[in-house]
Amino acid sequence: MAACLQLNAKAFRSYFPLNPVSRSVSKQLPKSGRIRCAATTPSKRYTITLLPGDGIGPEVISVATNVLKLAGSLEGIEFKFQEMPVGGAALDLTGVPLPEETLSAANKSDAVLLGAIGGYKWDKNEKHLKPETGLLQLRAGLKVFANLRPATVLPQLVDASTLKKEVAVGVDLMVVRELTGGIYFGEPRGFSTNENGEEIGFNTEVYATHEIDRIARVAFETARKRHGKLCSVDKANVLEASILWRKRVTAIASEYPDVELSHMYVDNAAMQLVRNPKQFDTIVTNNIFGDILSDEASMITGSIGMLPSASLGESGPGLFEPIHGSAPDIARQDKANPLATVLSAAMLLKYGLGEENAAKRIETAVLDTLSRGYRTGDIYSDGNKLVGCKEMGEEVLKSVDSQVPSPV
């Protein structure tokens, strides 16, 4: 049994050579057929591991890779892309959802860009052979403890929000969620019987000082790159773990005098997010509160096909991915919205590599493409131009291509 799960290294390498991938990158260059040269020869080089995964993953990764390459070239950045299997694609190829080679390549690279995993084909697999298990193993293997999820209502898509226009316009917030601690991992946990002989289920909300300190630093750094305001969300009126959380976040604040820190109880935060979301810039919170609040915040924007995310560790490469899944219902039909993955590539540049100018180029190009009226089906409204995944990618590339390269 174990043997059949072993990677057939030869077959694997012949399919996914461990050298730069040009296959997907060359498909969608602007119609002019060129990657424009920067004003100078590349001065910075990064290795990016591409994990297209399943369903619409390969379609959106192909678009995002081309955008990344072009935006980078205008800033004197050169990328080496290595494409590796994960999820169902890896199961089919190797028998496991996260081959060792994939994790090893990811860990050795500067950043990891993931499409999505999962699909009907593998839904009935045992837990350890599900594509989703591979994703959890990847996050654990990269030791990414901080999950950043922006929720931005783009002016062009304000009607997609479920909130009233005047509440939604201008929302631009970031939720920084602790990803590897708290009640989802705390011990003891399990099922037992209480003194009345009744069955009980129990979990433990526990945080150590170092876990709070490191997520707080990520959040302060993030707020510093945004508008300098950080709101820490907890339940310090009830939970000891939250009392420590608030104490440590307050202590770390002394390292960031330029960031304005506030605290809010989670029940109030949930309410304020739908009452007046514009009051927030950056939010930092624990694993379970972040799970709930980041979903609530992202839905303010109204469109799953637009939302990127970043997962960061203390050192090593970050993991960047759209928040949507593999959308098997529209896979291979050229219907996917690639912009969540394109914006994930912008987060990769900004938060993974510190290349803010190149990130800005991508963000600007996405806004420009939307302003020119291009829409995939999920964000389409009357009066706009309905396009598929590939054409949306072409239009974003044209927008990037029209930008002026950075001077030497």
Ligand X SMILES: NC(=O)c1ccc[n+]([C@@H]2O[C@H](COP(=O)([O-])OP(=O)(O)OC[C@H]3O[C@@H](n4cnc5c(N)ncnc54)[C@H](O)[C@@H]3O)[C@@H](O)[C@H]2O)c1
Return the DSSP state at 318. E
Helix axes 339-347, 389-401, angle to 10 degrees: 40
Reduce the DSSP state of residue 291 to 3 states and report it.
helix
Pick the closer one to ligand X by CB: 230 or 323.
Answer: 323
Q: Which of 92, 123, 159, 295 is catalytic?
A: 295
Pick the closer one to ligand X by CB: 175 or 327.
Answer: 327
The amino acid at residue 181 is: G
Residues of this chain that interact with ligand X (CB under 6 A) are 56, 116-119, 132, 135, 304-305, 321, 324-330, 336-337, 340, 378
Q: Which of 143, 184, 225, 278 is catalytic?
A: 184
Beta strands 77-83 and 199-202, pairing class: unpaired
What is the C-alpha to C-alpha distance for residues 45 and 72, in angstroms, rounded to an integer? 10
Q: Which of 54, 110, 234, 291 is catalytic?
A: 291
Non-local CB neighbours of 61 within 8 Å, separated by 6+ positions:
24, 50, 51, 52, 53, 113, 114, 115, 341
For residue 255, the minimal CB distance to ligand X (Å) is 33
What is the C-alpha to C-alpha distance for residues 375 and 377, in angstroms, rounded to an integer? 6
329: its two tokens: 């219902």
For residue 119, the minimal CB distance to ligand X (Å) is 5
What is the C-alpha to C-alpha distance for residues 307 and 313, in angstroms, rounded to an integer? 21
For residue 340, the minimal CB distance to ligand X (Å) is 6
Does residue 380 carry a catalytic annotation? no
Pick the closer one to ligand X by CB: 330 or 353.
Answer: 330
369 class by beta-carbon count within 10 Å (0-12 exposed, 13-18 middle, 19+ buried) = buried
Pick the closer one to ligand X by CB: 42 or 328.
Answer: 328
Does residue 184 carry a catalytic annotation? yes
Beta strands 229-234 and 282-285, pairing class: parallel
Pick the closer one to ligand X by CB: 114 or 236.
Answer: 114
The amino acid at residue 160 is: A
Reduce the DSSP state of residue 62 to 3 states and report it.
helix
Q: Which of 69, 130, 234, 235 is catalytic?
A: 235
For residue 22, the minimal CB distance to ligand X (Å) is 25
For residue 202, the minimal CB distance to ligand X (Å) is 27
Question: Cis bond leading into 188, ω under 30°?
Answer: yes
- On whether the CB atoms of residues 140 and 79 are closer than 8 A, the answer is no
For residue 67, the minimal CB distance to ligand X (Å) is 15
177: its two tokens: 């969620």
CA distances to 258, 279, 316, 371, 389 from 165, rounded to whole Å, are 32, 16, 41, 18, 28
Q: In which residue are the tokens 């976040």 written? A: 249
Pick the closer one to ligand X by CB: 241 or 306.
Answer: 306
For residue 118, the minimal CB distance to ligand X (Å) is 2
Does residue 291 carry a catalytic annotation? yes
Non-local CB neighbours of 402 within 8 Å, separated by 6+ positions:
none
Pick the closer one to ligand X by CB: 228 or 328.
Answer: 328
Which sequence positions are flagged as catalytic? 184, 235, 267, 291, 295
